[in-house]
Structure formats: C-alpha cells, structure tokens
Amino acid sequence: MSPRRDPHWIIRTYGGYGTARQTNELFRKGLADGQTGLSVAFDLPTQTGYDSDAVMAAGEVGKVGVPIAHIEDMRTVFDHIPIAEMNTSMTINATAAWLLALYIAVADEQGADRKLLRGTTQNDILKEYLSRGTFIFPPEPSIRLTADTIEFTGHEVPKWNPVNVCSYHLQEAGAGPVLEIAFTLANAVCILDAVRDRGMLTPERVGALSFFCNAGIRFIEETCKMRAFTRLWDRITRERYDVTDERFRRFRYGVQVNSLGLTAVQPENNVYRILLETLGVTLSKDARARAVQLPAWNEALGLPRAWDQQWSRRAQQILALETDLLEYDDIFKGSEVIEAKTEEIADAAWTEYERVQQQGGSVNAIDYMKEQLVTSHAKRVRGIEAGDITILGVNAEMQTEPSPLVGEGDFHIVKVSSEMQAEQIERLERFRGARDNALVTKAIDALKRAASDGTNIMPPSIDAAKAGVTTGEWSDALRDVFGTYRAPTGVSAHASAGSDPSRLADARERVKVIAGELGVGRIRILVGKPGLDGHSNAAEQLAVRARDLGLEAVYPGIRLTPAEIAQMAADEDVHVIGLSILSGAHDLIVPEVLEELRSRGVDLERVPVVVGGTIPDDDARKLVELGVARVFTPRDYDLTRNLTEVVELLARNGHH
C-alpha cells in the first residue's frame, strides 16, 4: 500500500506572446502536457491601457505577452479551452478590471456559470508604483478600482481571487526578505482598509485575498521567509480585521521563482538555480505554495520556446510526482535553526511594516518605499561586483566549455516578428470596422459615468467588452476622469550611500580626467527608458552608479517617447545617452530614437548612444550598424566597468 500523499500544488507555466492565436496554441499544448492551470502574460500595451496601433505601443506589441485589444482577442486565446474548467491566473494590474471584464464576457459566451469561475487577477497596483511600472492612474482611483473588483467578485464570481498581492517584483527590484514581507503586507493592508472603508469587509473577503511571491537561491532563508509571511499575515488578520476563523487567516500564495538571479552567461546553470529556488516554497508544508510557475533557463537571453517551458514544467512534476516530498508533515517542525531564522526575519519585517504604517500606509509612503528598494538593489549590485555575492559564470568559475544549448545565432529563443505585430493591428482594424459604433459610444459614456459617480466599474466594463470597446478606449475613458500619474524614481543620495569609495577610486579618477580633457565640470549622461517597459531596475542602478563615479545623471523615469528623449538630450546638452530596454522592443524603438536625435542636430559621433537590455547578439550587431556606439547585455554585469567604457568613448570621440 502506497503512503498517503498530499495533493500537489497547481502547476502553471507563465505564457503568452505574439498573437492571440499563437498563445492559444501554446496553452493547449501545455494543458495536454500535464499543466493544471493557465498563467497569462499580457503585452505592455495591454498592461498600460493602449491599443496595439497606438503611438506608444510601437515596437511593444506581443513582445512580453499576448496583446488583448478587444473581446475577439480574448475569445481567441480561450478558443477550445473550457473556461469553466480552468484555473486562470492573469498578471494584470492597471487594467485588471478590464481584462477580468473581457474574461467574464467570454465565459458568458461559453455558457459558463460565473459562480464557478476560478482564477486570479494580480490587480496589485501599489507594487507597480514601486517596481514594475505598468501603472496608469494615480494611487487613490487605482485603489478604488481594486476595491470595485473585490466587491464585484464577492457577489458574482465568489471562487475568483480578485487580488494577488505581489511580493515577486519587490524582490526583483532589490528587496531582501525583510523589505519584501514588510512592503507586501503594507500593500495588502492598504487594499483591505479601502474595502473596509466601504463597509464591505467580511472575513470571507479577507480570506479571498491571495499573494504572489518570489523565491531566491538562498532557499533555507526563503523557506523561513515564507514561514514568517504566514505568521505575520495571521497576526494582521486577527488583530487588525478581527478574523476569528483560521480558514480566512491563511496566507494563500502562488509563486514564480526568482528571475533576477538568472544569468545570460553559462545559462545552463539556471536549470539548477530554478529547481533549488522551488524548494524554498515547497519544502515546508505549513508554508507551501498553492500554485507554482517556473521561469525557463534561457529567460535572460530572450523569450523562451515551448520546449524550454516544458523543461521547467518537468522540474515541478518530478518534485511533485516522483519524490516523497508530499508524503510528510512539515519537515521543519521542531527545528531550532529554522525557528530562530523565521523569528529574526518576522521581527525585522514587522518593524519595517510598522514604519510604513506610521507614515500613513503604502500610498503615503510610496517615495520612502521606492527609495529603500533602489538602495537595497544598489547594495546587491555592489556585492556582486565586489565578489561578496557569488554567482557562477559571472564572478566565479568563469571558464566554461562551449554549451550545446546556446550556439551561434538566436535559435534558442523565440523572436516576435514585425509581421506578427502587423497582423495584430490588422485584426484590430477589422474588429473596429465591424462593430456598432453607437453601441460603443453608449458603453464608453456609461464607463465615464461610473468612474465619475463612484458606481462599481465592473458591470459597465463587462457591458463595454460585449459592445466592442477596446482596451485603449476603456483606459482613455478612465484617464479622462482620473488623470494619469508619474511615480518616483527612488534615485537619491541615499541610494548611493554605502558604496565603497576605494573600489571606485580608479574609475572616479578616470572620469575626472576625461571631463577635464573635454573642458567640462561634470560629464552628463541621460538615462532614458523609452517605450512602455517599466522594469526600471537597470536604469535606476545605472543612474546611481553614474553619480557614484562623479557623473551628472539625468534620469526622468519611465515611459518616454523617442521624441521626448531626443528633446531632453538636446535641451540638457548631455555628453552621452544611455537607453535601457528590457521588453525586446529595441529593434523598433532604438532606430526611432536615433532618428529623432539626428533631426534635432545631435551629432552621434560626439554624443554617443549606448543601449542596454535583453538584446540577442544578432540584434546588437544591427544596432551598432545603425549608429549605436555600444550594446550592453546581461552578460555585462559590472556597472563601474560599463560606465568607464562609456566615458572612454567620449575621450576617443573628443566631445566638445
């Protein structure tokens, strides 16, 4: 007789790219291969409320996820996939209410009972201001939209998790366990307080809140972090919200393990990293994830193929189905070591959580929290450069045999072609041409009224989805009412504090010498984030390190058009321009920036443009041919060396 086994977690693969049809095929393959849930990645225009043919969407369509511009796109993604039988996770935030409305509208078409729909919308806008950058509206109306989805799903879609409070991107932005726990719990409290202020908070609604966490390579510490998370959430739900039923106090979470630590050099090592990181959220039964999705080994190089995703899925399946992990109670019960570390993390996190509460909660503390994350990430980067944090292939064991997994060219990743983007735009134009415009106008008016008078946004959003309103139109209707927002950058003197001057002395001296040769007091670098890519960690750290080295860093934040970057370069009379693009949109955006610079009389021989991002080698060569002076990829981890190389370009070019 075989031993009793606990049921395994939901096995997901994060997927979506190119077109709705391609994403549908990817999902259907995964489900046939033993995947037990869907996790939808949306492209940046969808996440930030633009249609695929919008000016801001240029180069971004289908790159980091699937474009969903209207109900026909959503219908295609779930073609021959019975929504009523799925557990679907949607990584969507600013436009979460809209994507949920589209999903429900398609479920209605399929004849699904809304009360049986299961899944999750991430819908955690606060961490977007802090880390991921796909916000649209200011914090207050954004929290209102989140509360609307909680209220609506509580009545209409009770099995749905309307909010997945997300620590994942906080860790990617540099948070250690203490900041990750503290800021995540503070964000969760901000959301529940908003629901309580409406008089709608019940124990069931507290229990409906779920979390989406991260797990790094230090899997013992990560295990303790997750145990601390469960302990502190239990405390908050008891003390702040008077929840007595322990079922509604459970810390329910899904996880994607860490992508920040995946390397572009010796990327085959990432397979081991991913599996070890999975242990941090599965070993402890009392703090085990309910759903797990793993990145692929080659994500630092580009978009993974279906085979790469299968390889990651196999890691989960071997752990869940072949090992004896699920046959035991919590294996850490009684461990003094685990308990001591858990207590240490929990105590420090509670102190930091209270610090945020003393500032009035997450909305009021956004500037403080962002600065802490940038500072923490700067410390990590310095640790890697100094060798205090070991990463194989990056700063240790750098000699390697040639990998048969990565050869010449870009065969080992998926590339989204411009033809795919053109196909998506053509579908959008056909869709607009076939709809009833009077019905669309009526639906948009209803959306604006609801946004203005405080009526729950979900019912008119579902009506708008069925009427043929597009993602850009839904977002513009709410922009007209709520306005837009620019988040803090977190780049400050505090972020530079803690850098070791002795390690930077040679580079600082070289920067000073070249500035003197150029006849300027300080070399000015414009750090630009063009397009919709909100992953600002690299740009922030570049600006911090530039200041450490004595440069004047101009960093205006994310989401700039090529024209805005070019105008700023001309107005600020900068000496060098650094562009950071992590979304894969470099092939269209960088040439446009170069063209805008030239049209304003900026001489690229004298004012070099350098580009950093997840850029395949073939693309890097093309960018250099177009006039880019240097391309940096994740292989170039040493910021001091990179910036010194950039400054040497000025010396060779003889700027000014």
Task: Give the residue numbers marked as catalytic.
Answer: 14, 168-169, 529, 533, 535
Q: Which two tokens stand for residue 298?
A: 């080659």
505 contacts: CB under 8 Å, gap ≥ 6? none
Closest CA to 536 of 247, 255, 130, 159: 130
Only one residue has tokens 């610090």, namely 355
Residues 136/96, Cβ–Cβ less than 8 Å: no
- Torsion angle defined by CA atoms of residues 585, 307, 71 and 92, in that order, rounded to the nearest 10 degrees: -60
Please give the Cα distance from 369 to 351 (Å, whole number).
14
Rounded CA separation 89/78 (Å) = 13
C-alpha–C-alpha distance, residues 594 and 597, integer Å:
5
Burial tier of 282 (Cβ tally within 10 Å: 0-12, 13-18, 19+) = buried
Question: 64 near 44, Cβ under 8 Å?
Answer: yes
Q: Are 491 and 544 in contact (CB under 8 A)?
A: yes
**Which residue in 30, 46, 101, 34 sits closest to 461, CA to CA?**
101
Tokens of 29: 């393959």
Residue 624's contacts (CB-CB under 8 Å, 6 or more residues apart) are 630, 631
Q: Which residues of 401-424 are buried (b: 16+ CB within 10 A; e: fewer)?
A: eeeeebeeeeebbbbbeeebbebb
Q: Select from 619, 580, 614, 583 the least CA-distant residue to 65.
A: 583
Listing from the earlier edge strand, what are the strands of the sheet with 210-213?
A: 10-12, 291-293, 253-256, 210-213, 164-166
Nearest to 424, CA basis, from 102, 47, 57, 56: 57
> Residue for token digits 């203005």?
452
The separation between CA 568 and the C-alpha centre of its own chain, rounded to angstroms, equals: 27
R_g of the chain, CA atoms, integer Å: 24
Helix (H) or strand (E) holding 576: strand 576-580
Are residues 18 and 62 in contact, defined by beta-carbon separation less than 8 angstroms?
yes
